[in-house]
């Protein structure tokens, strides 16, 4: 494991922490606890007194400090990769990630200055997930395992499976759409628009409709769709690629989607308990990251640094032509 890979992992872990604390900010309605930006009550961000970090200010200002730290770390990672990695596409990806975190910080500031407009807040949440997936990808691409490529026949079968290739693209796409619906639900105060679970006002579908009810119900339907997609992906892997290393992704996805579905139900039943709601956000981000990792591994041969498949010398096994033997 190289130091570059270790640092990429640190950036990834810090970004997951940032997403989690962002979920904590929305769960505690602390988004406007600090009404100015980029300063904090007139103070330079890093000089704000710790004694004043109480209540919602603690969550919101803490979120800003973590975001700034992640931004600085991403600057370091982008320059490190650009100076040491000979793969042009990964250098471009690093700069793309840096641009994403800069835009993310800008959206965060606009969100505060314009009093949490729902479209900007949802875009802020959606871009956070994209940036997280970019850091996860950079951590994978800088690993020795990625450089080593396909090592076994079982792993080679994974990259040549067209059904799995399609499922590995569909699954993270569905998870991301579900996260966007969830963000819309949070930022439009639709989290308890349907107050019971698993029913909707005691029925299978809501007896009456409104904007918040439609958003909430769409999130529930999305949860079922995502669960079925993950079950199909994991089932295909376990049925056809049990000897491959990607089986760990199958079990991890099944475990995460089970936890995530349970947390979603508990969020409603507990009337949006802060801890449960925050864990729901963090688990959703982790589920997306794992599905993206699976997709990248399955499509390994599409990348510029993919090793050539092993070639078998068939001439040695062919019978000699007549007259060639003496």
Q: Which residues of 228-256 are buried (b: 16+ CB within 10 A; e: fewer)?
A: ebbeebbebbeeebeebebbebbebbbeb
Give me the pLDDT at residue 148, please.
76
Query: 303-314, pLDDT tens digit by residue?
Result: 866 555 544 443
The predicted pLDDT at position 160 comes to: 84
Closest by CA to 100, choosing from 79, 77, 129, 121, is 129
In this structure, how many other beta carbons lie within 10 angstroms of the beta carbon of residue 52?
13
* Tokens matching residue 156: 């080679």
Q: What is the pTM of this model?
A: 0.91
Rounded distance between C-alpha atoms, residue 309 and residue 311, angstroms:
6
Burial (Cβ within 10 Å: 0-12, 13-18, ≥19) of residue 45: middle
Query: For the chain, what percent of residues have pLDDT higher than 70?
Result: 90
- Tell me the DSSP string of 237-251: HHHH-TTSTTHHHHH
Q: Is a pLDDT exceeding 90 seen at residue 186?
A: yes
**Is the pLDDT confidence value at 323 over 70?**
no
Q: By the 8 A CB rule, do 107 and 134 touch?
A: no
HSE-up of residue 173 (Cα within 13 Å, Cβ side) = 6
Q: Which of 33, 59, 29, 31 shows the shortest CA–CA distance to 191? A: 29
Helix, strand, coil percent values for the chain (each to nearest 5): 70, 0, 30
Q: Two tokens at 103?
A: 């835009």
Question: Among residues 168, 185, 188, 210, which one has the least CA distance to residue 280?
Answer: 185
Helix axes of 56-84 and 118-141: crossing angle, nearest 10 degrees: 40
pLDDT band at 156 (very low <50, low <70, confident <90, very high): low
Residues facing residue 200 across a β-bridge: 203
CB 28 within 8 A of CB 272: no
Question: Tokens at residue 76, please?
Answer: 């370091």
pLDDT per position as a tens digit, 198-235: 999 999 999 999 999 999 999 999 999 999 999 999 99
Summary mean pLDDT of the chain: 92
pLDDT tens digits, one per residue of 78-133: 999 999 999 999 999 999 999 999 999 999 999 999 999 999 999 999 999 999 99
Answer yes or no: is pLDDT of 150 > 70. no
């Amino acid at each position: 494991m190289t130091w570059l890979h270790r640092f990429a992992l640190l950036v990834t872990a810090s970004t997951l922490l940032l997403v989690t604390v962002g979920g904590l900010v929305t769960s505690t309605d602390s988004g406007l606890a600090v009404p100015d930006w980029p300063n904090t009550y007139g103070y330079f961000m890093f000089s704000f007194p710790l004694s004043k970090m109480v209540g919602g200010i603690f969550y919101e200002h803490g979120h800003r400090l973590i975001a700034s730290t992640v931004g600085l770390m991403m600057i370091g990672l982008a320059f490190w990769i650009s100076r040491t990695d000979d793969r042009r596409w990964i250098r471009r990806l690093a700069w793309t990630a840096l641009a994403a975190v800069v835009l993310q910080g800008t959206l965060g500031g606009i969100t505060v200055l314009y009093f949490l407009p729902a479209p900007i807040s949802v875009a802020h949440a959606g871009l956070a997930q994209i940036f997280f997936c970019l850091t996860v990808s950079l951590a994978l691409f800088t690993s020795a395992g990625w450089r080593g490529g396909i090592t076994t026949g079982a792993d080679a079968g994974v990259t040549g499976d067209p059904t799995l290739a399609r499922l590995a693209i569909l699954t993270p796409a569905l998870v991301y759409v579900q996260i966007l619906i969830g963000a819309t639900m949070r930022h439009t105060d639709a989290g308890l628009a349907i107050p019971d679970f698993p029913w909707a006002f005691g029925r299978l579908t809501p007896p009456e409709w409104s904007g918040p009810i439609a958003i909430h119900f769409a999130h529930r339907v999305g949860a079922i769709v995502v669960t079925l997609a993950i079950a199909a992906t994991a089932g295909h892997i376990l049925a056809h690629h049990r000897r491959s290393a990607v089986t760990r992704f199958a079990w991890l996805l099944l475990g995460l989607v089970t936890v995530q579905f349970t947390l979603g139900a508990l969020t409603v039943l507990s009337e949006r308990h802060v801890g449960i709601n925050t864990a729901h956000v963090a688990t959703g981000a982790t589920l997306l990251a794992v599905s993206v990792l699976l997709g990248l591994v399955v499509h390994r041969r599409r990348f510029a640094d993919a090793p050539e498949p092993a070639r078998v010398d068939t001439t040695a096994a062919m019978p000699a032509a007549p007259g060639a033997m003496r």
